[in-house]
Amino acid sequence: MMHVLDHTHWFPDPATADHNGVVALGGDLSPQRILLGYRKGIFPWFSQGEPILWWSPNPRMVLFPKEFKLSKSLKKTLRTSPYKVTFNTAFEHVIDACAQVQRDGQQGTWISQQMKQSYLELHRQNSAMSIEVWDNDILVGGLYGIDLPGNKLFSGESMFSKKTDTSKIAFAHLVAWCITQNYTLIDCQVYTSHLESLGAREIDRALFLSYLC
């Protein structure tokens, strides 16, 4: 039976998710509820016009930072590119750019105005982080996600590129930062071949959840 959330801030056990990984529907997108979800391995993902859906897929796509695959071409790009990389200087611009990306098999974006405002508030609370890649003063790539320092885990939400490899540059800097912070995992949520090419792999949900304990 699908759990329907009300105004109280709680989530069912992620192990009760259906075969697609949906744990519950409904509730709200308050920053408090969203952060509670991430701490339990659950994240919101839904399209405009749908009820709010909360997910905990099995398996879970993750990157162990030291397993990051730094290709020769990306290594050269990081060494020679003229781009500047910053952290948390343009969070709203990054989330707007991610919302505008045309993705295969998707119409529109799941980053609604309500979703954006919730993540902006999480950013103001130092619970969401962005990495920006600049060509002079033009934003050409970046990513954002939820930072869980108490769990030594960063949960990536979305990334974008306006020039070749600029999202990879942002991701490489995220990996380097996670290593300096002794983070165990970068949560990539669901499988994509792009993430796999960077070293991410799928693990059992129960194992993933053990890193949040």
Please write the tens of the pLDDT for every residue from 115-146: 999 999 999 999 999 999 999 999 999 999 99
Contacts for 210 with CB less than 8 Å, ≥ 6 apart:
none
Q: pLDDT averaged over the chain?
A: 94
pLDDT at residue 84 greater than cutoff 60: yes
What pLDDT was estimated at residue 151?
A: 97
Please write the tens of the pLDDT for every residue from 42-53: 999 998 778 999
> Which residue type sits at 50?
E
CATH architecture of 61-210: 3-Layer(aba) Sandwich (3.40)
Q: What is the Cα–Cα distance from 185 to 61, expressed in whole angstroms? A: 10
What pLDDT was estimated at residue 170?
A: 98
Domain boundaries, the chain: 3-58, 61-210
Report the pLDDT averaged over residues 181-194.
Answer: 97
State in Å, rounded, how far the first CA of the chain is from the last one: 26
pLDDT band at 59 (very low <50, low <70, confident <90, very high): very high
pLDDT at residue 67 greater than cutoff 80: yes
- Work out the angle at residue 200's Cα, subtended by the Cα atoms of residues 197 and 204, and round it to the nearest 5 degrees: 140
pLDDT at residue 25 greater than cutoff 50: yes
pLDDT at residue 158 greater than cutoff 90: yes
What pLDDT was estimated at residue 1?
A: 76
pLDDT band at 108 (very low <50, low <70, confident <90, very high): very low
Q: What is the Cα–Cα distance from 34 to 10, expressed in whole angstroms? A: 10
Q: What is the Cα–Cα distance from 85 to 112, expressed in whole angstroms? A: 26
By mean pLDDT, which of 43-47, 63-67, 155-159 is the weakest?
43-47
pLDDT band at 107 (very low <50, low <70, confident <90, very high): very low
Specify whether the CB–CB gap between 167 and 143 falls below 8 A: yes
Domain covering 3-58, topology: Alpha-Beta Plaits (3.30.70)
Q: What percent of the chain has pLDDT over 70?
A: 96
Report the pLDDT averaged over residues 64-89.
Answer: 96
